[in-house]
Amino acid sequence: MFKVLLVDDEVFVRKGLQHLIDWEALGYTVVDEAENGEEALSIIESTNPDLVVTDIRMPVLDGLDLIRSVKDKQVHDPTFIIISGYHDFKYAQQALRYGVHDYILKPIDEMELQTTLCQLKDGLGKKKLARLNKEKHVSGSILGTLLQTPLTEEDVHQLAASLNLTASAPLTYIIVEVHAGQAIAELGNAEARISEALTAAGLPEGSVPVYEQRPGVYGILLNNGWAAAAEGRSQDDLRQLHDKLEKALGGPVTLFAGKSVDRIRDVRESYATANEAMRHKYAEFGEVVVDYEQVRDKALHMLDMDSDLYRRLMDQLEENDAEAFAQTIDDVFQQFSHRRFAPNAVSNAISRCIIGALHVIREMEGKDGDLDTLSDMLEWQQRSLSATQLKALFVRFMTETAAYMERLRKEQTKGGIEKIKKYIETHYTENMSLKSIAAKFYMNPVYLGQLFRKTYHVYFNDFLLNLRIQEAKRLLRQTDLRMYEVAGKVGFQNADYFVTQFEKLEKLTPTEYRNKLLGKK
């Protein structure tokens, strides 16, 4: 409740104000009254009210002097509402300079005052929050402060009032995890966006406090009618709320409901149990609503991923067997659920697989940076992913990784054939054959022949012959070596075979080729 001091030199006005409206129903309590500004100043110093409702014209110390004195002392900072029987522009102008919240004329209209008090509560809550911020390290929102900060009973009541809550009311803290990536943040104020979604979901506008726990994860505090139904809430209630929020936000969400409590003082318990429910998100794989009451007796475990599953996944990854490793990933996530892995256990298992995959890539002389999905995979814990989304991301990562491994393997194979090609180009003058080359490089000669043709689009023997004939032509042009000498220098053991092969390729015999260069016919 926000503390109120009534100041007026006419006692019937003060009493009339007390009974004109239901202060407590609006979140206020009248703590005292004063008949002049001087008495009011003393009461302000002793009770530190949140709101002072004061007349302007009073004996001893009038309303404006009272406000000026409080501002000058800078010890207390109540909000002021002025009531006056005089519609004097100069008074109103001076009041505005002092930061007075409102200027209400007598006779006081009940609805006008009620509206002013309702509008004022949010500002009073923020004032209280600012004061607490100076004294303690607190959250930037009223609900956040209520949840995170040790508070006095008075602080709790005042913050509750600013949230339109009463001291005793059934309350449930529910975590809304939004799985739409950055879509919510890009639309502006995330908490406001969630509030709009709650209104669209059918809850009264502004009736549900929202607290951003972290990007993508929001807490909402449901009270009164909704939480009180059927001694708290049913699974159907939660699922209906889930469906409406999902529709309003235009993307998938998961709800984690805490324990229902009966008073504002115990909201932290509901908050703690909602966060405990959230720890079951992988154990309750595929569930869009996780209720603490349903999981409270189900233990979570810090387990290692089965070694057989891990080895199978790594083998299938290297083999690029997409169907097989997709099934193994299904088995991994089923294990998370069936054996109720705690979040840290899931994180360890996923990290183990990522590290294993990267190790293979590095062994194959690949680069981590070539994997487009790696950054998302490494940062998955900072993103608000559902268990289903995590599994889908993991499958994408493994699919890309397997394809990259296959590409590296082909490049390695190509690298090996390149070495063989360079060896042939360097040693073609020696006695060599496909069989001898295959033996030198520990390869099957049939496979080597197929690989060479597939890589360079030419048969091994044709490639070797072309190298030898081109070198023979150079020797015929630049030397006067005999034919058998040329044949020997380019790798032919038989001069006649050399002539036959030369003529086959050049359509001339070696002698005809030389004579043509000499101009002989």
**Is 291:242 a contact under the CB 8 Å cutoff?**
no
pLDDT for 326-354, tens place per residue?
999 999 999 999 999 999 999 999 999 99
Position 129 in a domain: no
**pLDDT score, position 196:** 81
Please check whether residue 141 lies inside any domain of the structure: no
| Domain end among 294, 317, 341 | 294
Q: How confident is the model at residue 134 (pLDDT cuts 50, 70, 90)?
A: low
Q: Which helix (H) or strand (E) holds 412?
A: helix 387-427
Residues 110 and 212 in one domain: no
pLDDT tens, 272-322?
A: 999 999 999 999 999 999 999 999 999 999 999 999 999 999 999 988 999
Which has the closest alpha carbon to 244: 176, 185, 326? 176
Query: How much is the average pLDDT of 379-391?
Result: 89
Question: Within 34-88, where are the H helices?
Answer: 37-47, 63-73
Provide the pLDDT for residue 229: 44
At 69, list the tokens.
């004195």
Q: Which two tokens stand for residue 476?
A: 């015929």
Which residue among 84, 119, 154 closes a domain?
119
> How many percent of the chain have pLDDT more than 70?
89
> Would the pLDDT of 232 be above 80?
no
Sign, CA dihedral 393-397-403-406, equals: negative
197: CATH: 3.30.70.270
Within its chain, how far is the Cα of 188 from the centroid?
Answer: 16
Do 108 and 183 lie in one domain? The reply is: no
In a domain, 151, yes or no: no
Residues 21 and 55 in one domain: yes
Q: Which two structure tokens, joined as six digits, stand for 19?
A: 């009974």
Question: Do residue 285 and residue 345 come from a single domain?
Answer: no
Predicted confidence (pLDDT) at residue 75 exceeds the cutoff of 90: no
- Residues 286, 352 within the same domain: no
422 closest CA partner among 409, 408, 441: 441
Residue 238, burial from CB neighbour count under 10 angstroms (0-12, 13-18, 19+): buried
Q: Which of 349, 374, 408 is the last residue of a domain?
A: 408
Q: If pLDDT is split at 50, 70 and 90, which confidence band does 1 have?
A: low
Mean pLDDT for the chain? 84
Q: What is the 3-state secondary structure (H, E, C) of 130-152?
A: HHHHHHCCCCCCHHHHHHHCCCC
Q: Sorting pLDDT into bands at 50, 70 and 90, what band is 186?
A: low
**Whether the bond into 107 is cis, omega within 30 of 0:** yes
* CA-CA-CA-CA dihedral for 53, 59, 60, 62, to nearest 10: 40
Q: Residues 326, 254: one domain?
A: no
Residues 259 and 353 in one domain: no
> Which of 206-220, 230-244, 295-309, 391-405 is the least confident region?
230-244
The verdict on 289 and 312 lying in the same domain is no
Looking at residue 259, what is its pLDDT? Answer: 92
Model confidence pLDDT, tens digit, residues 107-132? 888 888 888 888 887 777 777 766 65
Q: What is the mean pLDDT of residues 403-418?
A: 79
Number of compact structural domains in the chain:
4
- CATH number, domain of 434, equals 1.10.10.60
**Percentage with pLDDT > 90 across the chain:** 38
**In the predicted structure, residue 193 carries a pLDDT above the cut 90:** no
289 and 317 assigned to the same domain: no
Is residue 415 one of the residues assigned to a domain?
Answer: no
- Candidates 303, 118, 97; CA nearest to 207 is 118
Tell whether 248 and 195 lie within a shared domain. Answer: yes
Are 175 and 245 in a shared domain?
yes
- Residue 396 has what pLDDT? 95
Is 152 among the domain residues? no
Judge if 179 and 289 occupy the same domain.
Answer: yes
Q: Is residue 183 part of a domain?
A: yes
Q: What confidence score (pLDDT) does residue 279 get?
A: 94
- The whole domain housing 367 covers 307-408
Average pLDDT over residues 374-388: 88
Is residue 311 one of the residues assigned to a domain?
yes
C-alpha–C-alpha distance, residues 337 and 212, integer Å: 28
Q: Is there a domain that residue 503 lies in?
A: yes
The pLDDT score that the predictor gives to residue 182 is: 47
